[in-house]
Structure 1
Amino acid sequence: MSDITLRTVATNGIEANVAIAGHGPAVLLLHGFPHTWRVWSEVIPHLAARHRVIAPDLRGLGGTTRAETGYDAANLALDAEGVLDALGEPSATVVGIDAGAPPAFLLAMRRPERVRRLVLMEAVLGDLPGAEDFTAGGQRWWFGFHAVPGLAETVLLGNEAPYVDWFLDGGTLGRGVPPEIRDAFVAAYTGRDSLRCAFSHYRAMPTSARQIREAVASARLTVPTTAIGAYPVGDALERQLRPHADDLTGHLIEDCGHIVPLDRPRALLDHL
């Protein structure tokens, strides 16, 4: 990890904590919940051999500004574009997982000239058709829990570690993540304000879903796109994208949990 540099860059009214490594064509990595840029720790060294890897902490998470507002996907896409601007990168391959996938998608839809290639994994894009099998019976329980203003942060305050551990264990099919990465995630999500920011991403999901519907109603996804599924999302994301993408490839990684970059980094690198 010694070849990774952490920088603070100004973007879209916030200060983003950004991990940077390597030289070459830019690759922008956008993490999800309950992660920070460190979710990419196992793949960054390999990508950095030939690319300039740029991995920011999303708005409100990790070392990035605990903003009061702006957690919808369109604004997160502006955050990401501003990171590229601040680092002098006119375009990048953009990779998003979980909560990082909707802003990556909207960046490619709205500013295709900035995205050479798009890779989305283990996420659903709002309420676009195609994910009915995955969402049958409603979203996972924590979506509703996180969405109620003020509730989850009050209930979880002082119990952040076991809560984060539950997601990390489930997201790796029980295999877990390296202790130092686990500890970094727990630290990033400890405290009322950290929890508030994390759950603000969920509270903005109705707005993000509307933005995604509007985007596909007015344009097509023209950049080369790869959809990667594991457990539990599977091929739901690929099915959502298929009617809207001009150039789409789908992959399923077997025996892989939701946190693909830590659970099956070698398989992920094969597709990247």
Structure 2
Amino acid sequence: MTEKTLPVAFPVQHHTARVGDLRIHYARAGSGEPIVLLHGWPQSWAAWRNVIGALSQKYTVIVPDLRGLGSTSKPDTGYDVNTVARDIRGLVTSLGFDKIYLAGHDWGAAVAYAYAAQFREGVHKLSIFEMVLPGFGIMEEAMTPQQGGNFLWHMAFQSVPDIPYALIQGREDIYMRWFFEHYAYDPSAFSAEDVAIYVRAMTHVGSLRAGLEYYKSYFESAAQNTEHAKQPLTIPVSAWGGEACLGDATKASIDLVANDVRGGVIERCGHWIGEERPEFVAGHLLEFFGEGQ
């Protein structure tokens, strides 16, 4: 079984689209107004597989693999959030859509913010899960060493040229499993097969190198964020962190860049919102995006 053939209880179609220098893989389900869901590292479209079914009852759900990850092509450059957001904008317009509902998790959330900041007339509402935006001090403080290793050490480690790739290659299963276990509220939310989905995707040729590029581009993305923040978002935004991971830091970060923010902390949840609390995520998105319709 690959990341494209997961057992699902609703019809998901898989497609590819040529957008600039990329061949973007995306999953699509449902009909209606478009919702775009963006995953983070070290995942793929499959991070949203337990959420798509509920959303597809009302919306057209579009779930791409980001540049360099999953089954999307893996160029050498272009991993800053502005460029990746433009990839997604190209996909959206190629599908005949202009204005979307947008949600992101982890790096997908950072890309979602960059999308909303660059294409301000192209987003109805934005939802952010388990990410602190680079460039405003909150993430940078979370990267500061703490006793017991209880800090976001990987953000700095993975930004170093060459060494992370040399140490992780061939050990992707050990390395990635650590994150799924340690950043979850309840590690049993992941079966061995769940983890294997992402490990297999990360061992595709070029995936590990490309995934690390998001971290090597950290300061470029941070500078882009601080520039966007000079003009705060005016659309409704929700921001949620998991109780066992980023907590209220996610909303605190988004409060710095948007005027109309709601959200808080998801109970009994760590970082992996799509596997740990899919019913909360789907319910929140249906309620939040559906307000006023």
Please point out which of 37, 40, 44 is paired with 2:48.
40
Match of 2:114 in 1: 106
For 1:115 and 1:239, how far apart are their aligned partners in 2? 21
- Give the Å deviation of 1:131: 5.5
User: For the structure 1 residues 102 and 204, does the alpha-carbon distance in structure 2 shift closer, same or farther, using more than 3 Å as the test?
Assistant: same
Confirm or deny that 1:205 pairs with 2:218: yes
TM-score by length of 1: 0.94
Confirm or deny that 1:156 pairs with 2:164: no
Residue ranges of structure 2 left out of the alignment (5+ in a row): 1-7, 286-293
Match of 2:38 in 1: 30
The equivalences for 1:103-182 within 5 A come to 103-129=111-137, 134-135=142-143, 137=145, 140-173=152-185, 174-182=187-195
Please say which of residues 17-26 and 177-186 is displaced more in the overlay. 177-186
User: For the structure 1 residues 66 and 131, does the alpha-carbon distance in structure 2 shift closer, same or farther, using more than 3 Å as the test?
Assistant: closer
CA contact (8 A) 2:143 2:153 kept: no
For 1:110 and 1:156, how far apart are their aligned partners in 2? 34
CA contact (8 A) 1:131 1:239 kept: no
**Matched position secondary structure for 2:16:** strand
CA contact (8 A) 1:21 1:48 kept: yes
**Matched position secondary structure for 1:222:** strand
Count of equivalent residues: 271
**Matched position secondary structure for 1:196:** helix
- Give the Å deviation of 1:193: 2.1
- Give the Å deviation of 1:136: 5.1
- Give the Å deviation of 1:129: 4.7
Match of 1:71 in 2: 79
Identity %: 32
Deviations, residues 195-228 of structure 1 (Å, cap 9, x unaligned): 10110111011100000001112x1201110001
- Give the Å deviation of 1:241: 2.1
For 1:199 and 1:130, how far apart are their aligned partners in 2? 21
User: For the structure 1 residues 178 and 87, does the alpha-carbon distance in structure 2 shift closer, same or farther, using more than 3 Å as the test?
Assistant: farther
Deviations, residues 70-124 of structure 1 (Å, cap 9, x unaligned): 0000001101111101111111111011111111101111211111110011111
TM-score by length of 2: 0.87
CA contact (8 A) 1:9 1:15 kept: yes
Please point out which of 92, 113, 116 is paired with 1:84.
92
- Give the Å deviation of 1:148: 1.4
Please give the root-mean-square deviation of Cα atoms over the aligned residues, in Å: 1.8
Match of 1:229 in 2: 241
User: For the structure 1 residues 61 and 243, does the alpha-carbon distance in structure 2 shift closer, same or farther, using more than 3 Å as the test?
Assistant: closer
For 1:232 and 1:61, how far apart are their aligned partners in 2? 23
- Give the Å deviation of 1:244: 3.1
**Matched position secondary structure for 2:268:** coil
What is the letter of the counterpart of residue 211 of structure 2?
A
For 2:246 and 2:20, how far apart are their aligned partners in 1? 31
